[in-house]
Amino acid sequence: MNEDTPHQEDLFAGLEAILFAADAPVSILRLVRALNHPRNRVEDALCALGRRYAENDRGVELAELGGGWQLFTKRRFSRAVESALGQPPRNRTRLSAAALETLAIIAYRQPITRGEIEAIRGVDTSGTLASLAEHRLIEVSGRSESAGRPNLYSTTEGFLNFFGLRHLGELPQPGAEGEETSADRGTLRVAIDGPAGSGKSTVARLVASRLGLVYVDTGAFYRALTWLALERGTDFGDPAALVELARDAGLELEVEDHTARLLLEGSPVGAEIRSPRVTTAIQRVADLPPIRNLVNGRIRELAGRLPGGVVAEGRDIGTLLFPDTPHKFYLTASVAERARRRLEDHRARGEAVTLPELEAQIIERDRADSTRQYGALTRLPEALEINTTGMSIQEVVEAVIGGVELRLAERASDAPGTD
């Protein structure tokens, strides 16, 4: 990093402060005077700042207009807002355009601070936030460490009811204007859900390898965050602290042999995230709605960079992670079958456990996973259910691949111009 980088970041911060506060295009001359920097440096910083906004998924863009510079809500974000949050039934209170946009920003970016909301909208939102909170559409879900306006805002159950949504996974993902969607490019998103012990992980890896896709272990994200919280001594009784840790954690994916290896703060995660202490504590992290939103958003962002497509497995892949994919599968098996598989795993590790103990654990795990308030294990009606009891791994893999190919053929036959 060169010596100018900290100063460049200060210049970016100064530019943002002026542009967010402005209600009209700001000329280069005014920016030069306000920032006390040479014109060429201000112009270079504006161009770099514009690229930064264009390259990430924030809802704001920087544009030159009428001889000055101004921030606008991205058109792709506005269209997604309009599509996802159309006005509710006539018997419900209508929302103003400002309230609708603010609510949509929170829904897509939650948990989010007031400062971040205003960075996207470019205007003061205090009155709008107060109104939305009064209508019980949003709530304060924690506090950030940022100074000034540290409250974190999230949508409520009332928000889902207001717009007739079953879950946040029904919000469509913003797509850039004129940009091909994943389906247009032939990129596959294969979502495999199911209870513990149904064979999801093994099947997902093999399906990814067969189809030339990348396998993403979504559970590793939650395990890595749990391990990080344990290492840093984060209070597991403080949800806001856990959310803040998740927001700041550097999680990346490195692809190798159709498997995306997770990097935490630049280093590959290893067996440490599979330790008993992580397993014991993970639900304290993974059950927090703001963290599930953060992790799912991060996985979607990273998956968008992966070649060809991804296969992901878990308990909310089809509902929250990739709700728009047509390739949804639900793997299940009898309790006895899943307990038998787990018994073989324990015996291979030299661990003494009985079949009745494992069956009891699986029954309790099923109950917990299916009754969680957010990100619960759900068998979607559009998902292809595969009961793997008595099936070999290869048979299950063939069934999933057959389902993918059938859906692709159906979509091809439905395409315009197809006889």
Question: What is the model's pLDDT at position 309?
Answer: 87
Which H helix or E strand runs over 377?
none
The Cα–Cα gap between 312 and 303 comes to 10
User: Which residue, 241, 360, 359, 222, is CA-closest to 281?
Assistant: 222
Question: What is the model's pLDDT at position 335?
Answer: 93
Predicted confidence band at 118 (pLDDT cuts at 50, 70, 90)? confident
Once rounded to an integer, what is the mean pLDDT over residues 179-197? 69
Predicted confidence band at 180 (pLDDT cuts at 50, 70, 90)? very low
Residue 270 Ramachandran class (φ > 0 left, ψ -120 to 50 alpha, else beta): beta
* pTM of the complete model: 0.58
> Which of the pair, 81 or 138, is modelled with greater confidence?
138
**Superfamily for 185-414?**
P-loop containing nucleotide triphosphate hydrolases (3.40.50.300)
Residue 90 confidence (pLDDT) above 60 = no
Structure tokens at 241: 């602290």
User: Which residue, 219, 199, 172, 158, is CA-closest to 325?
Assistant: 172
Question: What is the model's pLDDT at position 97?
Answer: 65
Residue 126 confidence (pLDDT) above 90 = no
> Which of the pair, 389 or 113, is modelled with greater confidence?
389
Residue 350 confidence (pLDDT) above 90 = no
The Cα–Cα gap between 234 and 393 comes to 40
- pLDDT per residue over 19-68, tens digit each? 766 656 788 888 888 888 888 888 888 888 877 776 655 556 676 655 67
Once rounded to an integer, what is the mean pLDDT over residues 255-268? 81
Question: What is the model's pLDDT at position 328?
Answer: 95
Helices (H), 188-330: 200-211, 218-232, 239-248, 276-286, 289-303
Structure tokens at 280: 């014991």
First to last CA, the chain: 58
Residue 83 confidence (pLDDT) above 70 = no
Residue 149 confidence (pLDDT) above 80 = no
Helix orientation angle between 200-211 and 393-414, rounded to the nearest 10 degrees:
50
Residue 259 confidence (pLDDT) above 50 = yes
- With residues binned 3-state (H G I as helix, E B as strand, rest as coil), the percentages for the chain, rounded to 5, are 55, 15, 30
Q: Which residues make up the CATH 3.40.50.300 domain(s) of the chain?
A: 185-414
> Which of the pair, 191 or 146, is modelled with greater confidence?
191
The Cα–Cα gap between 225 and 71 comes to 34
Q: Please state which CATH number belongs to domain 76-165.
A: 1.10.10.10
Once rounded to an integer, what is the mean pLDDT over residues 413-418? 63
Question: What is the model's pLDDT at position 70?
Answer: 72
Q: Which residues make up the CATH 1.10.10.10 domain(s) of the chain?
A: 4-72, 76-165
The Cα–Cα gap between 1 and 3 comes to 7
Question: What is the model's pLDDT at position 233?
Answer: 94
Amino acid at position 64, single letter: E
Once rounded to an integer, what is the mean pLDDT over residues 82-88? 56
- pLDDT per residue over 208-217, tens digit each? 888 888 899 8
**CATH topology (fold) of 4-72:** Arc Repressor Mutant, subunit A (1.10.10)
Question: What is the model's pLDDT at position 181?
Answer: 39
Could you tell me what percent of the chain has a pLDDT over 90?
19
28-37, 74-83, 257-266, 304-313: least confident range: 74-83
Amino acid at position 56, single letter: N
2-11, 50-59, 87-96, 214-223: least confident range: 87-96
- Residue 345 and residue 197 in contact, taking contact as beta carbons nearer than 8 Å: no
- pLDDT per residue over 309-344, tens digit each? 899 998 889 988 888 899 999 999 999 999 998 888
Residue 184 confidence (pLDDT) above 60 = no
Residue 80 confidence (pLDDT) above 60 = no
Mean pLDDT across the chain: 80
Question: What is the model's pLDDT at position 185?
Answer: 38
Coil, strand, or helix at residue 24? coil
